[in-house]
Structure 1
């Protein structure tokens, strides 16, 4: 499943020579090749240009302070972050393990240093606005993906697909740990894809493949053309989500369907409240998750009834197969 999705993304990238997805490749390869020469002003300027164009082609100028500045705004980041010796190992093929405390600290310091550089630059551009402006997680993660390949880009598509798999959409350690678990569980497919697509001048990093996978999943779901593929993705994501996110809860046997629906609704509410407490803004529930986690049998009508009658949170139906109420019916609840 994972390799199939990854190759769908990869094949789109190589469909023609100047695909916008290649902007990441150009940026990542440039920094990897020239990081030892960043003491040369012309190289720094060239690096700024690569980073700026990559961010532009990935939609990061829209409604952004970057739109008001030229490409040299990234010079501070290169001078004060990329040149730091402790981050040079990323260019030599070092792979972070998000579950390793030392790697966690290094990544969190990199994120903090990146934000610290861009924060005052944003205030210079938007000086007439509030002093409480923050550099977005989307911008921070896209910069670090383009330069180091160490985190996926936490944009809307990525967050939606991550949540579908039970992975936090927040740019934080909880999400990183869940992504590491997902990668480790499917390492054979990810590693095989990386090996098969590796060339002399480019090898995808693990977190780049994570980014590719989740982005493509979200695109497939948003286009809604390939219904069989969507059904397979819902089933696949549910398998991971059931194992990693939904606790196996049992409900008491009841001859009354209304009581059973109420029990199911209580479990869904408990799950969503836990997600809200963890900082999530939305929560995805698939009928199959609840059915399996609660050890139900032939109870999909009750599960779907509970999902649709939840009063605490509003929702949208993100997948409803033509067959009607089935195992892959998926709701997204607004937890704000």
Structure 2
């Protein structure tokens, strides 16, 4: 593990054109994250389902094989939004030290399981990538377990299969590197790690 390289990759992602342009594709994460934060109490499920669908489209999750585009419109996400808003404040209360990791990850995994069960019932393949991109966009409770992030996990000797153990290792990594990052930490912890993983995966 090279903490300096991880920090450099975070800065590369943050300064990339797609992330700094107001209408850049990567900014869609900020939009959906803000939408859920601002509307968590008013229960505007329709609005949040639209926001989630647009975010997933921006991040390549509306391909034909997922059926989200070919078989459904954004309304299919309303029950998922209702699941997401359960324990929402608790999942936005990120671990402050390593002792808090286990309890936090248990809560995250409970929600991932609920989302997986819902999407399975309606005929949508609940891939690890889909589920974690939803968790990343709405609560920043997990990084997105796509091909790029898995490369990053492998390079750092961490479990690549999505599960409680892997999520615990991701949070442990955060506490190892956080003191070496810029004081201007303006994103949630696993969003920063997701940036590092995405950047590393693209370059390797």
TM-score range, shorter chain: 0.7 to 0.9
Partner of 1:188: 179
Deviation by residue 1:141-199 (Cα, 9 ceiling, x = unmatched)? 11111110010000111111211111111101221122122211111134x3xx4253x
RMSD: 1.8
Structure 2 counterparts to residues 156-167 of structure 1, below 5 A: 156-167=147-158
Pairwise CA distance, 1:54:
0.6
Pairwise CA distance, 1:4:
1.8
**Structure with the greater alpha carbon radius of gyration:** 1
TM-score (norm 2): 0.88
Distance 2:22 2:189 in 1: 24
Distance 1:82 1:176 in 2: 18
Pairwise CA distance, 1:214:
0.8
Partner of 1:5: 9
Partner of 2:200: 217
Partner of 1:316: none
Flag the structure with higher helix content: 2
Distance 1:143 1:98 in 2: 24
Structure 1 residue runs without a partner (length 5+): 124-133, 199-203, 222-336
Partner of 2:77: 74
- For residue 15 of structure 2, give the secondary structure of its aligned residue in structure 1: helix
TM-score (norm 1): 0.55
- Judging changes above 3 Å, is the alpha-carbon distance between structure 1 residues 65 and 187 closer, same or farther for their aligned structure 2 residues? same
Structure 2 residue runs without a partner (length 5+): none
Partner of 2:85: 83
- For residue 39 of structure 2, give the secondary structure of its aligned residue in structure 1: helix
Structure of greater relative contact order (alpha carbons < 8 Å, 6+ residues apart) = 2
Aligned residues: 195
Q: Tell me, yes or no, if the aligned pair for 2:84 and 2:111 is still in contact at 8 Å.
A: no
1:208 to 168, 182, 191: 191
Flag the structure with higher strand content: 1
